[in-house]
Amino acid sequence: MIRFEQLPELSLYVHLPWCVRKCPYCDFNSHELKSPLPEQAYIDALIQDLQSSLPQIWGRPVVSVFIGGGTPSLFSAQSMQRLLSEIRSLVPLIPDAEITMEANPGTFDAERFAGFRDAGVNRLSLGVQSFMDSQLHALGRVHDAEQARRAIAQAKPLFDRLNIDLMFGLPGQSLEALEAELDILSGFEPSHVSLYQLTLEPNTLFAVRPPSGLPDDDLLADMQSLVIERLAQRGLVRYEISGFAAPGQECRHNLNYWSFGDYLGIGAGAHGKLSFADRIVRTVRPRHPDGFMRQPAEGGTETPVRPEDLPFEFMLNALRLIQGVPSGRWAQTTGIQVGSHPFLLDRIGLAQSRGLMSVRPDRFQASARGIELLNDLQSLFLP
């Protein structure tokens, strides 16, 4: 039975669902902008969504905000200012709350980005993907390598905390080509990098027509090792499957997801997870921007998480963290004592006996082999 004495930390996710163009590999809820951006109407809808969600999070401090997409940087600084002012007036943000915004280098404009910072954004996440024009073209990106470099150079003095998203395992990419990408990346001395292996997601153009020359599994494994080694040489420690950071620069918002904290998700298609005294629910807002704007507070879904699903949901997140989580985190975020969930204990024992989890009483942590075989490890916790 779920019973909380104290609820976990709460974050806020805000989804802005438009992009200049849909990238052929992307399965995020992002829609190509075919008419003028309905900025005012969408911000109004977000505020309405937040207002009607307040009874679910009454009085709880919010530790971080993540404005994701889509391409949030399509919005004006004034809209961001209005959104963040409303958020501040409606929910108690902690004084040093991390406020991240995602941005596409193809939408970069130094003055507008200074406006985002003045509105309160204190962490920027730039979707660079590659520093090679040929790759950016193959990925259907709206920007070239020069725009990506310029965006980083201009964003650095504006934001103390800057993340760069890159992908590897790209069509025709060799180990040497990846090495060249990492060299260029290092030249910018980033304090946070997310390096994702390109995946072919169902319902994307790439899934229907995969690009030719995708690296095989052996090359991918070599690429993964190269990424870890090169970034470590630059002081960027792998703290999560795809996340690398200088000490203290880890993304607090994502750390809250991975340590199974709570988050309110507002905006088209946004997902949320919220705990109450005796239950945990998952929420999903209407996916289409028009539908969401028509009825921001209705038409979404709210599903209770079944206690038998909690081991998988918890481990799906916690085991992504290279250091794992303190074992006490389970009870703090599920409201169930470890000893009261025989299935959880059984599966941890199984994972440990297969060498996939460290044998430590104080932490739930994947072993080095468990990180390599993360999907297999996580699926041991399926009910």
Ligand X SMILES: C[S@@+](CC[C@H](N)C(=O)[O-])C[C@H]1O[C@@H](n2cnc3c(N)ncnc32)[C@H](O)[C@@H]1O
Q: Of 251, 267, 249, whose CA–CA distance to 259 is shortest?
A: 251
User: What is the C-alpha separation between 357 and 369, in angstroms, rounded?
Assistant: 8
Site for ligand X in 26-65 (CB under 6 A): 26, 28
Contact status: 224 vs ligand SF4 (CB under 6 A): no
From the list ligand X, ligand SF4, none, partner contacted by residue 201 (C-beta under 5 to 8 A by kind): ligand X
Contact status: 287 vs ligand SF4 (CB under 6 A): no
**CB-CB contact of 149 with 131 (8 Å):** yes
From the list ligand SF4, ligand X, none, partner contacted by residue 199 (C-beta under 5 to 8 A by kind): ligand X
Q: With CB under 6 A as the contact rule, which of the stretches 24-32, 117-125, 169-177, 327-335 interacts with ligand SF4?
A: 24-32
Residue of 8, 127, 289, 335 that binds ligand SF4 (CB under 6 A): 127
**Per-position x/- string for 79-118, each x denoting binding to ligand X as judged by CB under 6 A, each - no binding:** -----------------------x-x--------------
Site for ligand X in 115-134 (CB under 6 A): 127, 129
Contact status: 265 vs ligand X (CB under 6 A): no
DSSP 129-190: E-S-HHHHHHTT-SS-HHHHHHHHHHHTTT-SEEEEEEEES-TT--HHHHHHHHHHHHHT--
For ligand SF4, the closer of residues 142 and 331 by Cβ is 142
**CB-CB contact of 319 with 72 (8 Å):** no
Tokens for 25, please give them.
């590999």
Contact status: 148 vs ligand SF4 (CB under 6 A): no
User: What is the C-alpha separation between 315 and 311, in angstroms, rounded?
Assistant: 6
**CB-CB contact of 150 with 188 (8 Å):** no
Tokens for 231, please give them.
């970034």
Site for ligand X in 189-208 (CB under 6 A): 196, 198-199, 201
Residue of 7, 12, 14, 19 that binds ligand SF4 (CB under 6 A): 19
Q: How far is the CB of 134 from ligand SF4 (least distance, A)?
A: 18
Bond into 70 cis (ω within 30): yes
The residues binding ligand SF4 (CB under 6 A) are: 19, 22-23, 26, 28, 30, 69-71, 104, 127
